[in-house]
Structure 1
């Protein structure tokens, strides 16, 4: 594999691994330092809104500067926010306020970091001598590996080392991701400004931000795929964050939850690998339907909550379908989002995904409280059924072949300068 895709994928893996470790280790460290469960929850709550706002607003910046640079800067922000905690611990001592402050600073790098890395994808294809199918399949595979390795690494590190050392190691992964991104030639991150949609020159930031939202909402393809992505995030967050923990608690086997998440990750690994190998073959509509219907099947099996082994089976099927579906959607995003607006559009999408996860958990909590666990599982999964109907019926998702309807999409979403 050439340097450009190899460096990109290595940086992506390290960044995601660092986030995965932090998501497990940081709440444990907050508990160790403060002794407060509410404190750990306060840190998570305090960082959620800034992360969403950063995703919405920083897309304009990502569309203005070299995207290699923006990717490096966001990783450095994440590394600095984590590394500051052990430094503060050695000087003045940590308290809840410091955790919240550094959590907020770190959140300013998280969603924009995802957006900057997503915005780089077309350039990696152009400069890296790799097909978009293989690149996205490998990315899904590495994402699954990070989700598998992160919790295990966090648990091991917390057992062997003290909290400050674990924070240094976590910060080092984000720093390593930034340094590896620097291996990409500077030209890879340059923004190609061509076509009618290039409205950046001479417009202020708010106008450019509105342009991005207008393009997103004016494209039937982008609206449909965003709805599908939001639906699966809401459903997965509800299942993983509350419904399955409650189910395994009722079954008196709470430790099994981790194995379900592992089954999803293993399925995603298989699905991503399969798409990397064979994604360029056959019709994309076929891949789309397999992913869409496979996701429906997996969710249906899980939602039945009939037996633990069925939940595991459904989790693997769901992961497998998600690996295929996610890879294909990534390829389509590479081809169909205007190059000069990728930061604004994908920043908005990533911010919506970030906000959707806690909404799914809250919805699950309310449903369990008022309807019971089984009814809640069925109700949450019915959200995906609505998305399924949209996915099957949407005219913009009928022809997904390379270049199909691209000129038509650009004409539909031309931004009015008036």
Structure 2
């Protein structure tokens, strides 16, 4: 192997390891998205119970993701990623262990789902906060790095639900969760090899003085930045309205049909579309306007949610899911770009954490409303009730002046990594 090849591999290695760790941990979460609702519906058959567990898995995300960024900025990106995945692996493994010993109930499943969800945001924030340093090392354009990173998430949610559906059909939902725990352990092994500038414990003078003050600083920073504030509020509303479709309505529909694998196929189609959308954006970023991509994504999502409401045949559901993934695939890279170009190095974790927490803020309310509404009014009425507000949001976004800032030329604030030691 030539010297230039070795050098090229070394500078790309941090980016490869971060993306591999993301792929592994997100695959585990993708399996859980299918396994937990199926486990509950298998036991009780009630959509409300599935919504309770989905809400329990989402509610801790608001608080933990809010503080996760401060944890990252205080204790370091690489250490936080390692500890977060370790705790997530343990919490997921407790579900099959409880099934084999004390037995499972809806409250216990909800409690363990909440425990597992509480540890995920810190690891996600830590890995995302390492992207700018990996970008510098690889010497790639930032839009290209973000598109690959977000495509990884979609690959994980392409593979994860498919694996989950197959495993549920063969070994059952309880034993399926052992695979999730193994995915987190594999992510730990990958990050253990990562050496990257700024990934270790920050210097004392660069750390937040406390968890509370650091989190408040992150909140104030995001709120005072018009673009970040607007993106956070729009994302919060979209997540609250859409996630019940994916996590409650579709599992109920396919449970009634007795087709766990088909649920996995629909989620896989969505993730496949997301992979194409994210990677396509990376290739076309220099020739398309970010604001236009955002507006199209929200509008098409609303239309697709209306189409879901009529519970079309499987082939149509697969096509609708793929379109949702395709148009929404670029949204993650665009949001990452906004955070990376508007946040200073020493606050990167907190900005990512705050922006992530807003995505979960209204999630539990959406789940709690969707479950009882499905039981009372049916799947179609519930889907329409969730889709109409998304269409309204799409119209409002056209008039939001802050979104025009997505296309402003802004010098990145991550051109140096002062204040942190190597990982």
1:162-220 C-alpha deviation (Å, 9 max, x unpaired): 77764443222111111211222142415889xxxx9856x433222222111222221
Q: Flag the 1:280–1:159 CA change in 2: closer, same or farther, 3 A.
A: same
1:328, 1:143 → 2: CA distance?
A: 15
Q: Which runs of 5+ in 1 are unaligned?
A: 408-418
Task: Tell me the residue number matched to 1:412.
Answer: none
Given the alignment of the two structures, is residue 136 of structure 1 paired with residue 142 of structure 2, yes or no?
no
Q: Which residue of the other structure, out of 10, 15, 28, is the alignment partner of 1:18?
A: 28
Q: Which has the higher contact order (CA 8 A, sep 6+)?
A: 2
Instruction: Count residues with an aligned counterpart.
Output: 399
Per the normalisation by structure 1, the TM-score is 0.79
> Which residue of the partner structure matches residue 384 of structure 1?
390
Partner of 1:151: 161
Separation in 2 of the partners of 1:72 and 1:60?
16
In the TM superposition, 1:2-401 aligns within 5 A as: 2-26=12-36, 46-84=56-94, 96=105, 102-161=112-171, 166-190=176-200, 203-244=209-250, 257-303=263-309, 311-365=317-371, 374-401=380-407
Cα separation, partners in 2 of 1:165 and 1:241, compared to 1, 3 Å: closer
CA RMSD, Structure 1 to Structure 2 (Å): 3.9
Kept in 2: contact 1:298–1:316 (CA 8 A): no
Asked if structure 1 preserves the Cα contact closer than 8 Å seen for 2:306 and 2:388, the reply is no
- C-alpha displacement at 1:75, in angstroms? 0.8
* Matched-pair contact (CA < 8 Å) for 2:248–2:371: yes
Q: Is the 8 A contact 1:127 1:188 kept in 2?
A: no
Q: Quick check: 1:47–1:107 contact (8 Å CA) kept in 2?
A: yes
Q: Distance in 2 between matches of 1:118 and 1:255?
A: 31
Q: Are the aligned partners of 2:162 and 2:264 in contact in 1 as well (CA < 8 Å)?
A: no
Deviation at 1:322, TM superposition (A): 0.4
1:213-240 superposed Cα distances (whole Å, 9 cap, x missing partner) = 1122222111211122123212322323
CA shift at 1:23, angstroms?
A: 3.3
In 2, Cα distance between equivalents of 1:210 and 1:77 = 25
Distance 1:161 1:307 in 2: 28
Separation in structure 2 between the aligned mates of residue 405 and residue 371 of structure 1, nearest angstrom:
51
CA distance in 2, matches of 1:303, 1:100: 27
TM (norm. structure 2) is 0.78
1:312-364 per-residue CA deviation (whole Å, 9 max, x = no partner) reads: 44333222110122322222222223332233333233233234333223333
- Which whole-Å CA distance do the structure 1 matches of 2:118 and 2:362 have between them? 18
**Partner Cα separation in structure 2 for residue 82 and residue 179 of structure 1:** 18
State how far apart, in whole Å, the 1-side matches of 2:308 and 2:280 are.
23
How far apart in 1 are the matches of 2:384 and 2:168?
37
Using a 3 Å threshold, how does the CA distance of structure 1 residues 312 and 345 change in structure 2: closer, same or farther?
same
Deviation per CA, 1:137-176: give whole Å up to 9, x if none. Answer: 2223222222222122123334555777644432221111
CA–CA distance in structure 2, aligned partners of residues 17 and 295 of structure 1: 24
How far apart, in 1, do the equivalents of 2:34 and 2:311 lie? 26
Q: Structure 2: where are the runs of 5+ without partners?
A: 1-8, 414-423
